[in-house]
Amino acid sequence: MIIDCHGHYTTAPKELDAYRKAQQEGLKDPNHVPSKGSLGITDDQIRESLEGAQLKMQRERGSDVTIFSPRAVGMGHHIGNETTSKNWTEHCNELIHRVVGLYPKNFVGVCQLPQSPGVPPKNCIPELERCVKEFGFIGLNLNPDPAGGMWTDPPLFDRWWYPIYEKMVELEVPAMIHVSGSSNPHFHATGAHYINGDTTAFMQFLTSDIFKDFPTLKFIIPHGGGAVPYHWGRYRGLAQDMKKPPLEELLLNNVYFDTCVYHQPGIDLLTKVIPVDNILFASEMVGAVRGVDPRTGHNYDDTRRYVDKVEWLSAEDKEKIYSGNVRKVFPRFKG
């Protein structure tokens, strides 16, 4: 069985974008009273949006199920205020719930949170509980920077975040660390802000005691862990200089990396550096990079081809990467 632990609903019907635009228009009018409203999306539209895209690619690439969440760049936590984010997030999560209802064998839900800059993350708990308890979602995407590239909220090791961690432990759900769009022109969203977010989160974990306080808390750092595997020696050395235990002991019971790395040498490096037990298969399709690599003739994000080709991975190792590790990291996954 092949489980892709990282997919977003990037192909949602255009009504979703129209809702978001209207929401942003409303923000310009000081007398506007925001309300949740409705999307007006039919089940047929949802089917149509998936059949030619994610479902087709699952079939073509031979993956069985995708752990599916709302479009990450669309979370836009920096847009508007807490109410804006709450209304938008509820719609986005409800849409994922409908997708899973229509295709229960192909998708399992993960939620976004109604985060907003300066607003305590504990305010997101009701939506997290709704998604896990009512919708059967198995995880969440946690944005370490709701300010979209401005990094104005406290770091992930600050107690500001602890109520969410407590709830994650209680519900047995892991979080994928996932930034959203960039409001900082220095940082291209998927090319720089994403990779920065991944790398930054890892270093925040390294310098903190989060995993002493929450020994069962689990995070997935997507996009192959940002710059982390490539610079593993630097991180090992920094931990050593700080008199911290080796990384295996310090955080590898809690931190996992996905395989959203879009070329063979990158996957080779990931699988050489990071223990097999800490790697989860993912492609993020249909996502950040949509083209075909002229050097291979295949889509850049067809990551299964790279993992399959890694010679030093045994069949047992590959089974862990493709499905075994997901069951460990997502205890609520039933499949």
Interface residue list for Zn ion (CB under 5 A): 72, 284
By beta-carbon proximity to Zn ion, the closer residue of 127 and 284 is 284
By beta-carbon proximity to Zn ion, the closer residue of 57 and 247 is 57
Helices 54-61, 43-51: axis angle to 10 degrees equals: 40
Tally Cβ neighbours within 10 Å of residue 20.
17
Q: Encode 47-77: b = buried (16+ Cβ within 10 Å), e = exposed.
A: eebbeeebbebbeebebebbbbbbbbbbbbb
By beta-carbon proximity to Zn ion, the closer residue of 72 and 108 is 72
- Catalytic, 284? Answer yes
Least spacing, CB of residue 250 vs Zn ion, in Å: 25
By beta-carbon proximity to Zn ion, the closer residue of 153 and 284 is 284
Least spacing, CB of residue 150 vs Zn ion, in Å: 20
How many whole angstroms separate alpha carbon 238 and alpha carbon 244?
9
By beta-carbon proximity to Zn ion, the closer residue of 206 and 220 is 220
Least spacing, CB of residue 34 vs Zn ion, in Å: 27
Closest CA to 335 of 67, 72, 93: 67
Pair 283, 245: CB distance under 8 Å: no
Closest CA to 199 of 236, 225, 164: 225
By beta-carbon proximity to Zn ion, the closer residue of 53 and 238 is 53
Phi/psi of residue 207, each to 5°?
A: -90, 10
Closest CA to 74 of 14, 163, 154, 152: 14
Pair 261, 224: CB distance under 8 Å: yes
Least spacing, CB of residue 319 vs Zn ion, in Å: 24
Catalytic residue, from 284, 311, 316, 319: name it.
284
By beta-carbon proximity to Zn ion, the closer residue of 72 and 313 is 72
Query: Tokens standing for 301?
Result: 């994000």
The residue sitting closest to Zn ion, measured at its beta carbon, is 72
Phi/psi of residue 49, each to 5°?
A: -70, -20
Closest CA to 299 of 4, 55, 61, 51: 61
Least spacing, CB of residue 260 vs Zn ion, in Å: 7
Q: Strand (E) positions, 174-331?
A: 175-177, 219-221, 255-258, 279-280, 292-293, 298-299
Least spacing, CB of residue 284 vs Zn ion, in Å: 5
Least spacing, CB of residue 193 vs Zn ion, in Å: 12
Pair 283, 308: CB distance under 8 Å: no
Q: By three-state DSSP, how is residue 139 classified?
A: strand
3-state helix, strand, coil in the chain (%, to 5): 45, 10, 40
Q: Which residues are catalytic?
A: 284
